[in-house]
């Protein structure tokens, strides 16, 4: 199913059920082939949607950066992004805020018969890295390696690139391991590749045991307060949608075309990894852990990733009443 066709059908569905009551409009920027598509499709199938006080207008964005531009320009009300970026914006006076969407992040993947079984085994190897030098997974992996006196920045041959390119690199044996985003890692796992460690494991190795969300819904705090009831109802609907996708085989079957694969093994591991990212707890402990991660990333990147603010900005996280 093409994204534009999906968005049009969903908007028509929601609009057709909103004629009786004036409903708050939530404009959401959506990347093609992202898991946000899955949840929005599941919301469409939620019987409680008819009684909701919001309607959705879903606008396609080409990539993460395009989504950020659309949000900052006011073209959309909400996107899915990360809280580090939100904090950096708040440090400049902007009032964007973040509500958790998923705590699944990237993973380090090797071929099934690879001699690499730990981070130490990466020494002297070729490593493909999804994103750039400031990718959070790469920065934190380096920090974990440093605990074992291994400088990954100088001891591996690095290749940076977009996730699809990085996946092709390991398939063609041009790299020995890849550090890539979770859904690209899952597709490799379905083809017999092996996971060494994921983002959650990296954080635990660094002494952070709380499950901290990697991405979330980002919107202006002022907009959220002006549409508080509708926003909270949407966030609750999104939670139900994720739960339904993870517990109901029939609901999962309905969104399978959006996974862009007909391979059962790939579909199975995509669902498994997606559901591992479900937010089960989000409170003071997790937010304090996020603050520790912020300080770590700020130190490791010399402010390049976080901006100059010494601490995570107040208001970075939206408090849902």
**Tens of pLDDT along 72-100?**
999 999 999 999 999 999 999 999 999 99
Q: Which domains occur in the chain, in start order?
A: 3-103+213-260+282-301 (3.40.190.10), 107-205 (3.40.190.10)
3-state secondary structure of 73: helix
| Phi and psi angles of residue 235, each rounded to the nearest 5 degrees, phi first | -60, -40
- Kindly tell me if the per-residue pLDDT of 213 is higher than 80: yes
- Mean pLDDT (the chain, rounded): 91
Query: Mean pLDDT over residues 250-268, rounded?
Result: 95
pLDDT of 16 reads 43
In sequence order, the 6+-apart residues with CB closer than 8 A to the CB of 202 are 137, 140, 141, 144
pLDDT of 45 reads 82
The span from the CA of 259 to the CA of 263, in Å, is: 10
The percent of residues above 90 in pLDDT, for the chain, comes to 84
**Contact between 107 and 185 (Cβ < 8 Å):** yes
Query: Mean pLDDT over residues 14-38, rounded?
Result: 76
**Per-residue confidence at 12, pLDDT binned at 50, 70, 90?**
very low
pLDDT of 19 reads 45
- Kindly tell me if the per-residue pLDDT of 13 is higher than 50: no
């Amino acid at each position: 199913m093409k994204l534009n066709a999906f968005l049009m059908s969903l908007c028509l569905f929601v609009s057709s059920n909103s004629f009786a009551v004036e409903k708050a409009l939530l404009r959401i920027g959506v990347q093609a082939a992202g898991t946000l598509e899955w949840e929005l499709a599941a919301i469409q199938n939620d019987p409680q949607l008819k009684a909701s006080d919001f309607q959705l207008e879903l606008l396609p964005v080409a990539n993460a950066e395009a989504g950020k531009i659309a949000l900052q320009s006011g073209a959309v009300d909400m996107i899915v992004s990360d809280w580090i970026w939100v904090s950096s914006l708040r440090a400049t006076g902007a009032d964007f805020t973040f509500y958790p969407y998923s705590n699944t992040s990237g993973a380090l993947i090797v071929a099934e018969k690879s001699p690499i079984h730990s981070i130490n085994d990466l020494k002297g190897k070729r490593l493909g890295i999804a994103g750039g030098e400031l990718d959070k997974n790469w920065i934190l992996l380096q920090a974990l390696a440093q605990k074992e006196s291994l400088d990954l920045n100088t001891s591996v041959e690095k290749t940076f690139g977009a996730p699809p390119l990085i996946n092709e690199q390991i398939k063609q044996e041009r790299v020995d391991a890849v550090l890539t985003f979770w859904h690209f890692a899952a597709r490799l796992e379905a083809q017999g590749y092996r996971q060494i460690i994921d983002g959650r494991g990296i954080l635990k190795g660094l002494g952070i045991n709380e499950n901290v969300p990697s991405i979330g819904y980002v919107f202006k705090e002022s907009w959220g307060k002006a549409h508080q009831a509708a926003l909270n109802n949407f966030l609750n609907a999104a939670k139900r949608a994720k739960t339904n996708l993870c517990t109901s085989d029939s609901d999962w079957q309905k969104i399978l075309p959006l996974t862009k694969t007909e391979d059962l093994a790939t579909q199975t591991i995509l669902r498994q990894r997606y559901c591992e990212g479900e937010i089960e707890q989000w409170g003071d402990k997790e937010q304090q852990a996020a603050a520790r991660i912020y300080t770590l990333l700020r130190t490791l990147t010399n402010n390049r990733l976080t901006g100059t603010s010494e601490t995570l900005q107040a208001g970075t996280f939206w408090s849902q009443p």
